[in-house]
Amino acid sequence: METFSQQDARISISIDSRLNQVHLVGYAVHGICSQLGLGDIVVYQIELAVVEAVNNAIKHAYGSVGGHPVEVVISVNEKRLQFEICDEGKNLHFLRKGTALDFDPRNKTDLPEGGMGLHIMEQVMDDVSYFVRNGRNCLVLCKRLA
Amino acid sequence: MRIDEVKKGAVLVVKPMDKRIDASSATAFKAKIAGWIQEGEKRIVLNLSEVDFIDSSGLGAIVSSLKAMGGEGDLVICNPRETVMSLFRLTRMNRVFQILPSEEEAVANLSET
């Protein structure tokens, strides 16, 4: 996880823990990333990774119960783009689980319908880490720039 | 979740008109497709031309729709944007679904089976 200085650009977004609010975070991430010269596919994938992280916070940390905060802090400097997705819900420990998306594409009966979010985050981002501090859980996603 | 539908011979073409198929809309999407499958539709083309964002929940709903056919039919995808296509590649679901560049090709593909 990169330590950002006070000179880095930083913005904090907070939404209520409802899935119908997540698109607002997506639009913000898309808008910021679109200004960084990353290309449409990379911008989409970054938005996707952050949305997956926010979805996880809502579904798993808060059990899809509304009324709780999910905060996304976006920090950017010339070297890195970092997203901290924080909640005050249940500690997930999900980074200890395997993230391989292992299935046989020819076997239609056993295709996964869920559990793809962490795999996507790890494919898109250069670093994925998780920490718990003072009752607050934070998933940190880092993407190197250029 | 608004999904347009048109029958072309034995093939049902469904086209979501919402820009996002995500965690908030995946359940409704899945229910709509399941309804058509329960009505007996076995050849479905999913036209994604209007969709500019799908997350893993949306993808899971599409996978669930394919599985709901129970091996007796097929669901083919057409016109995904390159950005959305990258989700299929990230998850290797591009190896599961037939994904074609046009609705015409997708309809023709299912009409031949």
pLDDT at A74 over 80: yes
B55, B84, B96 member nearest A52 (Cβ): B55
The kind and range of the H/E element at A128 are: strand A127-133
pTM of the model: 0.94
Does residue A3 have a pLDDT over 70?
A: no
Q: Which residue has the higher pLDDT, A53 or A93?
A: A53
Is there a contact between A113 and B60 if contact means CB atoms under 8 Å apart? yes
Q: Which residue has the higher pLDDT, B69 or A2?
A: B69
Contact between chains at A105 and B95 (C-beta distance less than 8 A): yes
ipTM of the complex: 0.94
Residue A94 is predicted with a pLDDT of 61
CA-closest candidate to residue A97, choices A60, A72, A126, A125? A60
B108 pLDDT tier (thresholds 50, 70, 90): very high
Nearest CA among A109, A67, A83 for reference residue A26: A83
Q: What is the pLDDT of residues B15-40, one digit of tens each?
A: 999 999 999 999 999 999 999 999 99
Q: How much is the average pLDDT of A48-66?
A: 96
- CA distances B82 to A101, A112, A146, B25, B45, Å, are 22, 22, 22, 21, 18
Q: Write down the pLDDT at residue A107.
A: 86
CB contact under 8 A, A19 and B24: yes
